[in-house]
């Protein structure tokens, strides 16, 4: 059995920074809130939750349940600079995990996102997930390309699937990564 609570890993980034990857902890409330509060409106308007509201982060911290959601954070220079959450499916999709990621502006393009996604994939394997799923705004071509480089396949596009708080809709790229070998059957 994999114990997420004790997971810790240091990674070196392309900018020379050393970052600690670890689970989100109850005492991280202010650090996590600061990650989202300091982000621009443009950066947060494509997130599913209203992350600039203190109650949103308070709710996440109060309801930490690693059996349901495994939030991996990147910690550097006294602050959280990345958040990559693995949402575990239930019932008929209990073998699928959904991944959501957010990085501080000054930690983008230095390899942190890739490292966090790959580490989350390793955690997903350890908890016996078969697939990782990511929903990416189709217009965010660099993000789609980044997920493809990490082994995610574009499975379909969903027209007008994501609606921002201001009512504007966007197409989504549904991307999947297989974590287990596909069984071959002979008849």
pLDDT band at 138 (very low <50, low <70, confident <90, very high): very high
Average pLDDT of the segment spanning 146-167: 96
Which of 1 and 18 is assigned the larger pLDDT?
A: 18
Q: What is the pTM of this model?
A: 0.93
Q: Which fold has domain 4-178?
A: Aminopeptidase (3.40.630)
Digit-coded pLDDT (tens) for 81-129: 999 999 999 999 999 999 999 999 999 999 999 999 999 999 999 999 9
From residue 45, alpha-carbon distances to 36, 166, 170 in Å are: 11, 9, 12
- Hey, where are the domains in the chain? 4-178
Q: At what angle do helices 29-37 and 54-62 cross, to 10 degrees?
A: 140
């Amino acid at each position: 059995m994999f114990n997420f609570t004790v997971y810790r890993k240091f990674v070196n980034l392309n900018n020379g920074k050393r970052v600690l990857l670890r689970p989100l902890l109850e005492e991280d409330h202010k650090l996590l809130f600061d990650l989202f509060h300091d982000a621009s409106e443009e950066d947060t308007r494509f997130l599913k939750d209203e992350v600039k509201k203190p109650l949103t982060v308070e709710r996440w911290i109060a309801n930490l349940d690693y059996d349901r959601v495994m939030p991996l954070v990147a910690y550097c220079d006294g602050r959280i600079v990345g958040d990559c959450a693995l949402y575990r499916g239930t019932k008929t999709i209990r073998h699928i995990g959904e991944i959501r990621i957010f990085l501080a502006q000054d930690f983008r393009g230095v390899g942190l996102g890739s490292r966090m996604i790959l580490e989350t994939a390793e955690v997903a394997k350890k908890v016996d997930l078969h697939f990782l799923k990511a929903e990416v705004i189709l217009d965010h071509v660099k993000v789609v390309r980044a997920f493809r480089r990490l082994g995610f396949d574009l499975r379909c596009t969903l027209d007008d699937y994501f609606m921002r708080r201001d009512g504007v809709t966007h197409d989504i790229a549904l991307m999947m990564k297989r974590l287990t070998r596909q069984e071959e059957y002979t008849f």
